[in-house]
Amino acid sequence: MISEKMEKAFNEQINAEFYSEYLYLSMQSYFESLNLKGFVNWMTVQVQEERAHAMGMFDYVHSRGGKVELEAIAKPETHWNSPLEVFEHVLKHEELVTSKINALMDVADEVKDRAALTFLNWYVKEQVEEEDNVGNVLATLKLIGDDKKALLMLDKDLATRTFVAPVIG
């Protein structure tokens, strides 16, 4: 059985994960407006991943006898000045998500919920991967600068990213 404090913390994180999905959907729309289909694809995969992360927690709370209470999702940002600015935002956001996962781990540790700690280890590892992936794209965008041909080459590379449903937990 999940404790009330742990359930509340998971519910807050589920909302944060759905917000991430919503934010990346907004970024996907931005890239659609630029006709950068590879960037659109990258964000589409990111949207799918964030939904899977939220649903992993959703299912976990239920499996522990808890109740998920969905809250309103905040409106995401919708305007950026460049692909570089978008990915700077993505990295900042993923760092925030990492801090939220760490705080969730802290609650699990505080209430001595070993099952939650074990479950959340997957998310800790996932955040390392998320920050690394975003950091790689960001570094490439910084190298590209204003080179439109290089941007289109990166766009082609990003078009190859595929969603693989994660096995969470």
Measured between alpha carbons, how far is 153 from 139 in angstroms, rounded to an integer? 14
Look up the CATH number of the domain holding residue 113.
1.20.1260.10
Instruction: Assign 5 a pLDDT band (cuts: 50, 70, 90).
Output: very high
11 within a domain of the structure (yes/no): yes
Number of domains in the chain: 1
For residue 104, being part of any structural domain is answered with yes
Q: What is the span of the domain harbouring residue 118?
A: 4-158
Q: Does 151 map to a domain? A: yes
Q: What is the pLDDT of residue 153?
A: 98
pLDDT at 61: 98
Q: Does residue 167 belong to any structural domain of this protein?
A: no
pLDDT single digits (tens) 66-96: 999 999 999 999 999 999 999 999 999 999 9
Residue 165 within any structural domain of the chain: no
**Per-residue pLDDT tens digits for 32-74:** 999 999 999 999 999 999 999 999 999 999 999 999 999 999 9
